[in-house]
Amino acid sequence: MSVETKAAPLVWPEEEDPREEHLLLDPRPRAELNQIVLDAMHRTGFGFWAAVTVLSLLVLIGLGGAWGYQIYKGMGVAGIRRPVYWGVYITNFVFWIGISHSGTFVSAILRVFKAEFRRPITRGSEMMTAFALVVAGMYPLIHLGRTWRFYWMVPYPNQRQLWPNFHSPLMWDMLAIFTYVIGSTLYLYLPLIPDVAMARDHSTGWRHKLYRILALGWRGTEAEWHHLKTAITIFAFAIIPVMFSVHTIVSWDFGMTMKVGWHSSIFGPYFVTGAIFSGVSAVATVLLIVRKTMKLEYFLRPEHFDAIGKLILIFSFAWTYFFFSDYLTEWYGGEAVGKELITFQAHGPVAPLWYLMLIMNIAIPWLTLWNRRVRRSTWWLFLVTIGVNIGMYIERYIIVTGFLQRNRLPFDWGVYNPSLVEVLISIGSLSLFMLLYVVASRFIPLVPVWEVQEGQITHSLRRIGRALVPSVAELE
């Protein structure tokens, strides 16, 4: 029985139908949802194959050709030199670790805080985490002078009782990244099981075999759901400190040194904030592409991008705070080299990049993202988020390669320009990330159907008089 009231009806912004706006209020039959996701997975047209071919080629050139050449000839083919011993490889490493924060942040934190807009976007961002980590994990190897000896960093028992040095931030780094890779892969995999099972039930041939293995015999019993949800909750809580630790430890690679500019206690939260800033932006970029190319407009709606846009703006504020905090303390400290580093950024060879960074990371987000229309506009948001990632890349580039150009002995200042090999490897790794994502998008349901459906069940529209009122049922 409906209750009639005289109260003024709830007015929706711009008189939209809430069903158009909100995914969770726009339920469709389960079969239809499944079909949208399955269609997206099966669609392999010309564009797909062209992308796969081009990306594979770039990966082959960058990681096969250029990296192979570097291993054969020596690190000298890169642009690094005395005293800039770290170059774009470490920049890329920090950047990709940053990107990898998106999945966990969007998925785990929003899950823990029960942010409902997360539901259709968790899978896509978790996949980013996994693949960004693959790429990031390659860079310490690419960067090694003797890549073929990388396993000496692994603490394995050996006859000569040689152990790695646990004092070294690089060791902490390796351990943190390993933990993060394992944790985030499991965290990607757990919510995937019901969807893989769904795919198994709707496929034949090799796909069926693959999904059967991946689904681990999921039948959807109540016990199974109970276990799964418990596991997901545990992981969601557990992965958050791991995520924070990873980028903090990456920042300690710099912060623990005695280099002026690097040696800073603020680097931990500064890097984490930057990582989330760039990661969430990357999520937006990727989801916009996914939505467009895979026809997932039903699942990925402006409301989601609106929410992501707000997040980006908040993290732009936070990043700016840390940035100036670091800058100001350095400047106020008054140490000669520190001052030199500051003028170096504003007037030196990296100055154009530095200003570009400020524009991309501060000016553009602040000037645009407060606007709801910008946040909901595909192209605008696409450009802004791409810009943020360029800005964040520059930030890492300046911190790694720029700060190394100045030190306490002015005789030994240096310059750095990336070489062709470094550029090719960077392009190759970016291509690898995209290739993995593109290929995986044809195997892994990009939207967690069961989560969306769960959300839709708990959300409903009630008609109160002429007004439509959304109603939410608490799950747990």
Partner 1 sequence: MTFHITRRDFLKSSAAASSLFLVSGCTADLQKPVWMESYVNPPEETLPSENFWFASTCRMCPAGCGVIAKVSNGRVRKLEGNPEHPLNRGRLCARGQAGLQELYHPDRVQQALKRSGDRSQDQWTPLSWEQAIGDLAAGLQDVDPDRVAFLTGYLPHYQSELVGRFMKGLGTQPPVIYDAQAAFDGRVTLAAASQRLFDTPALPVFDISQADVVFGFGADFLETWLSPVAYSQRYGDMRGQVGKRGYFAAFGPRLSMTAASADRWLPTPPGTEGLAALALGKIIVDEGLDRGGDAIDYQALYQDVDVDAIAEIVEIPVDELTQLARTFAAATQPVALPGGMLSGHANGLDAVKAVAALNMLVGAGEEGGMKLTPEPPSRDLRRAPVSSFADVQALTARMANGDVDTLFVLGANPVYELPAALGFADALASVKNVVVFATLMTETAQVADLILPAHTYLETWGYEFVDPGFGEMTVSAQQPVVQPLYDTRDPGDALLALANAMDGDVVKRLPWPNLVNFIQTRLTSLQLLDGNFTASDTDTFWAAWLQHGGWWSQEAAWTPPTPGEGFGKALAATPPRFAGDAGERPFHLIPIPSVIFGDGRHAGLPWLQEAPDPMTTASWDTWVEINPVTAQQLGVANNDLVTIAADGGEITAIVYLYHGIRPDAVAVPVGQGHEALGRWASQRGANVLSILAPQTDDASGQLAWLDTRVQVTKAEGRRVLPALESNLGVERFRQQSL
Partner 2 sequence: MTETTHRWTMAIDLDRCTGCQACVVACHAENNVPVVGEDEVRMGRAMHWLHIERYWVGEYPNIQARFIPMMCQQCENAPCEPVCPVFATYHSQVEDLNIQVYNRCIGTRYCANNCPYIARTFNWFNPEFPEPLNEQLNPDVTVRKRGIMEKCTFCIQRIHDAEHVAEIEGRPVQDGDVQPACAQSCPTNAIVFGDLNDPNSRISQLAGSRRSSRLLEELGTEPSVIYLSGGDAHVS
Site of interaction with partner 2 (CB under 8 A): 73-76, 80-83, 85-86, 140, 143-147, 149-150, 152-153, 162-165, 167-171, 174, 253, 256-259, 404, 407-412, 414-415
Specify the residue, 180 or 403, whose C-beta has the smaller distance to partner 1: 403
Stretch that binds partner 1, among 243-251, 369-377, 404-412, 445-453 (CB under 8 A): 404-412
Decide which of partner 2, partner 1, none touches 331; Cβ closer than 5 to 8 Å per partner kind. Answer: none
Q: Kindly report the three-state secondary structure assignment for every residue of the chain.
A: CCCCCCCCCCCCHHHCCHHHHCHHHCCCCHHHHHHHHHHHHHCCCHHHHHHHHHHHHHHHHHHHHHHHHHHHHCHHHCCCECCECCCHHHHHHHHHHHHHHHHHHHHHHHHHCCCHHHHHHHHHHHHHHHHHHHHHHHHHHHHCCCHHHHHHHCCCCCCCCCCCCCCCHHHHHHHHHHHHHHHHHHHHHCCHHHHHHHHHHCCCHHHHHHHHHHHCCCCCCHHHHHHHHHHHHHHHHHHHHHHHHHHHHHHHHHHCCCCCCCCCCCHHHHHHHHHHHHHHHHHHHHHHHHHHHCCCCCCCCHHHHHHHHHHHHHHHHHHHHHHHHHHHHHHHHCCHHHHHHHHHHHHCCCHHHHHHHHHHHHHHHHHHCCCHHHHHCHHHHHHHHHHHHHHHHHHHHHHHHHHHHCCCCHHHCCCCCCCHHHHHHHHHHHHHHHHHHHHHCCCCCCCCHHHHHHHHHHEEEEEECCEEEEEECCCC
Closer CB to partner 1, residue 251 or residue 405?
A: 405
Q: Does 330 sit near partner 1 (CB under 8 A)? A: no
Quick check: 334 binds partner 1 (CB under 8 A)? no
Answer for the pair 87, 416: CB distance below 8 angstroms, yes or no: yes
336 contributes a contact to partner 1 by CB under 8 A: yes
Residue 1 is a binding residue for partner 1 (CB under 8 A): no
> Which of partner 2, partner 1, none binds 76 (CB below 5-8 Å, type-dependent)?
partner 2
Q: Which of residues 408-447 bind partner 1 (CB under 8 A)?
A: 409-414
CB of 334 to partner 1, least distance (A): 12
Of the pair 137, 348, the CB lying nearest partner 1 is at 348
Site for partner 1 in 356-375 (CB under 8 A): none
From candidates 337, 341, 390, 421, binder to partner 1 by CB under 8 A: 337
340 binds, among partner 1, partner 2, none (CB under 5 to 8 A by kind): partner 1
Give the shortest CB-82-to-partner 1 separation in angstroms.
Answer: 9
Q: Which CB, 175 or 438, lies closer to partner 2?
A: 175
User: Segment contacting partner 1 (CB under 8 A): 19-27, 209-217, 233-241, 403-411?
Assistant: 403-411
Binds 336: which of partner 2, partner 1, none (CB < 5-8 Å by kind): partner 1
Nearer to partner 2, 169 or 470 (CB): 169
Residue 472 contact among partner 1, partner 2, none, beta carbon within 5 to 8 Å by kind = none
What's the CA gap between 206 and 214, in Å, rounded?
A: 12
Q: Does residue 162 belong to the site contacting partner 1 (CB under 8 A)? A: no
Q: How far is the CB of 339 from partner 1 (least distance, A)?
A: 9
* Closest CB 267 distance from partner 1, rounded Å: 24
Total binding residues toward partner 1, as defined by CB under 8 A = 10
Contacts to partner 1 by CB under 8 A: 336-337, 340, 406, 409-414
